[in-house]
Structure 1
């Protein structure tokens, strides 16, 4: 299983709605969540949903490093690879 930017967009919209600034459908991979208008609460809700849907532990997430959509997608995919390798 691979987590994609499209999957993150869906979860972000479900958890936090459309961004206050910018266009979530645009090239947002390297734009910070802060610049998109998402606060830490929105990110926590998003991580919680990812944990529910994919089994990636949100409480272990390095929040200070997950500042962009691409960083979050890469983190989730890394966790999924580790889980698959451990199984």
Structure 2
């Protein structure tokens, strides 16, 4: 993300503008707002059930917290999940 002139840290508006342009540049099919009800293994993929339909995914990203204040939600089944979980 390009530096925002005159700011030590980017403002929320700068981040939103950057992400919007990023989605358009790479033709990403971002859906929002969407509430996820369930994620489960479906062969080599993950089945994602939402209030906006269902789809299969290779990865699921739950964007929560901030860099300096991570929040990892206590999701039922998280301890049994065999995939990679990390906070960056």
**TM-score (norm: length of structure 1):** 0.30
**TM-score (norm: length of structure 2):** 0.30
The structure with the greater share of residues assigned to strand is 2
The structure with the greater share of residues assigned to helix is 1
